[in-house]
A and B are shown apart, each in its own frame.
Chain A
Amino acid sequence: MLSFKKDKKPSTAKFKLSYIAMLIVLVLLAISALPNLYPNKSWLHVSSTPHSETQSLPSTKTLVTFLNKQGLEVEQGLDKQSTINVLLNEPTKSAQAQAAIKAQYPNMQVKIVEHATSPTWLQDFGLSPIKLGLDLNGGVLFVLDVDLDKAVDEQLVSAYQQAKSIIIKQKAHGVKAQQTQQGFEINALPNATDKLTPVIEELQSRFANLAVVTSNNGSVKTAKFSYSEQGRSSFDKEVMGQTLTTLRSRIEELGITEAVTQRQGKHRIRIELPGVQDPTEAKRIIGATASLGFYQLKEIDGQTFNMQSGGTIKLDPVPIFTGDHINNANIGRDDWGKPLVQLSLDGQGGDAMSAFSKANIGKPMATVYSEYSQNAKGEVVKKSEVINVANIAQHLSSRFSITNMKSQQAAADLALLLRAGSLTAPVTIVHEQTIGPSLGSENISNGLAALMLGMGITLAFMALWYRRLGLIANVALILNLTSLVGLMSLLPGVVLTLPGIAGLVLTIGMAVDTNVIIFERIKEERRQGRAPYQAIQEGYKQAANTIFDANITTMITALILYGIGYGPVKGFAITLALGLLTSVFTGVYVSKVLSQTLYLKMGKKAGVKAHA
Chain B
Amino acid sequence: MLNYFLKGEKGTRLRFMGMLLSAILVLLSVFTLTQKGLNFGLDFTGGYLTEFTTSQSVELKELQSFIAKNHNGEFELTAQGNSHFQLREAPSASTTSTTANSLDWQSAVTQNDDINAQVLSSAYIGSQVGDELFDQGCLAMFAAMIAVMIYLAVRFEWRLAVGSVVALVHDLILVLGLFSLLQIEFNLTVLASLLAIIGYSLNDSIIVGDRVRELLRVQSNNVLSPATIINNAIKSTLTRTLITSGTTLATVASVWLLAGAPLQGFAIALFTGIVVGTFSSICIAATLPELLGLSAKNYEVKVDAHTQTLLDMP
**Measuring CB to CB, which residues of chain A are less than 8 angstroms from any residue of chain B?**
135, 143, 145, 265, 283, 374, 376-378, 428-436, 438-439, 442-443, 446-447, 449-451, 453-455, 457-458, 461-462, 465, 498-499, 501-503, 505-506, 508-510, 512-513, 516-517, 520, 524, 544-546, 548-558, 560-561, 564-565, 568-569, 572-573, 576
Contact = CB atoms under 8 A, between A and B. Distances in A.
B121 A564 contact: no
Given A499-B192, A505-B251, A432 B51 contact: no
B247 A457 contact: yes
Given A510-B244, A561-B195, A428 B189 contact: no
5 contacts: A374-B96, A436-B120, A439-B120, A457-B250, A509-B251
Which 9 residue pairs of A and B lie closest in terms of their CB atoms, listed nearest first? A454-B251, A554-B199, A509-B251, A430-B126, A509-B248, A453-B254, A433-B123, A450-B258, A454-B254
A552 B156 CA distance: 14
Nearest to A457: B250
Given A431-B129, A553-B202, A556-B147, A450 B259 contact: yes
B140 A565 contact: yes
Interface string B22-43: 0000000000000000000000
B144 A556 contact: yes
Interface of B: 51, 94-98, 118-126, 128-129, 132, 136, 139-140, 143-144, 147-148, 151-152, 155, 188-189, 191-192, 195-196, 198-200, 202-203, 206-207, 210-211, 236-237, 239-240, 243-244, 246-252, 254-255, 257-260, 262-263, 266-267, 270, 312, 314
Nearest to A458: B247
Contact of B244 (A265, A283, A516, A545): A516
B95 A465 contact: no
Contacts, number: 223
A376 B191 CA distance: 36
A601 to B, nearest CB: 26
A577 to B, nearest CB: 10
Contacts of A546: 206-207, 210-211
A573 B312 CA distance: 29
B250 A461 contact: yes
Contacts of A442: 260
Contacts of A564: 136, 139-140, 143
A431 B258 contact: no
A501 B244 CA distance: 20
Nearest to B209: A549
A461 B246 contact: yes
A510 to B, nearest CB: 6
Contact of B203 (A443, A461, A508, A554): A554
Contacts of A436: 118-121
Contact of A458 (B139, B250, B259): B250
A443 B264 CA distance: 12
Say what secondary structure dominates the interface of chain A.
Answer: helix
A502 B123 contact: no
A550 B206 contact: yes
B254 A499 contact: no
Contacts of A544: 314
> Which of B119, B247, B252, B266 has the most chain A CB within a 10 Å cutoff?
B247
B94 A378 contact: yes
A546 to B, nearest CB: 5
Contacts of B128: 145, 430
A556 B151 contact: yes
Contacts of A550: 202-203, 206-207
A275 B199 CA distance: 35
A36 to B, nearest CB: 19
A457 B129 contact: no
Contacts of B155: 549
Contacts of A435: 120-121
Contacts of B119: 434, 436
A400 to B, nearest CB: 36
A58 to B, nearest CB: 31
A505 B151 contact: no
B196 A576 contact: yes
Contacts of B95: 374, 378
A499 B244 contact: no
A516 B199 contact: no
A431 B51 CA distance: 16
Contacts of A555: 199
Nearest to A512: B247
Contacts of B124: 429, 431-433
B294 to A, nearest CB: 18
A511 to B, nearest CB: 9
B189 A568 contact: yes
Contact of A499 (B151, B189, B314): B189
Contacts of B120: 435-436, 438-439
A434 B244 CA distance: 38
Contact of A428 (B96, B125, B132): B96
B51 to A, nearest CB: 7
B199 A557 contact: yes
